[in-house]
Structure 1
Amino acid sequence: MGILEEEPARKARPHEIGQDLSLLSVAELEERIVLLRSEIARIETELGAKGSTKQAAEALFRRI
């Protein structure tokens, strides 16, 4: 490895609920927040879709 060569980029580890955050930098903590907010949005979208499906099924069975 030459002097001017860059170090290989570290792979971001996925966030684990309850993990020790004291070893993470401010930038890493901010990245985790962005990651978790996008995951919350994805989960809320899926929850809404499942709620719509459930309501449609309940409406169908009420008619019978």
Structure 2
Amino acid sequence: MEVAVNEDETEPVVKPGFTENLAIMSIDSLNEYIASLEQEIKRVEQEIELKRSAREGAESVFKK
């Protein structure tokens, strides 16, 4: 994984490395890989929503 600094946030940005060799995977394995990636996308979307809600809550407190 590659790590970069996000200038807008205090946390580092982690860029995942997709290193699976797709050419050697069977169709069933590729479908399983897609399913696992879709689950990961959902997990990331949930984390984004949690962070967005926390940010909005903090902004509403400090903007008063």
TM-score (norm 1): 0.70
Query: Which consecutive unaligned segments of at least 5 residues does structure 2 have?
Result: 1-16
Q: Secondary structure at the match of 2:22?
A: coil
**Equivalent AA in structure 1 for residue 51 of structure 2:** K
1:19-50 Cα shifts (integer Å, max 9, x gaps) = 32100000000000000001100100010000
2:40 paired residue number: 39
Q: Could you tell me the percent identity over the aligned residues? A: 33
**Equivalent AA in structure 2 for residue 58 of structure 1:** E
Q: What is the alpha-carbon root mean square deviation over aligned residues?
A: 1.1
- d(CA) in 2 for partners of 1:19 and 1:39? 15
**Structure 1 stretches of at least 4 aligned residues deviating more than 3 Å after TM superposition:** none
Query: Which consecutive unaligned segments of at least 5 residues does structure 1 have?
Result: 1-15
1:17 paired residue number: 18
Q: Secondary structure at the match of 2:21?
A: coil
> What displacement does 1:17 show?
0.4
TM-score (norm 2): 0.70
More contact order relative to length (CA 8 Å, sep ≥ 6): 1
Structure with larger Rg: 1
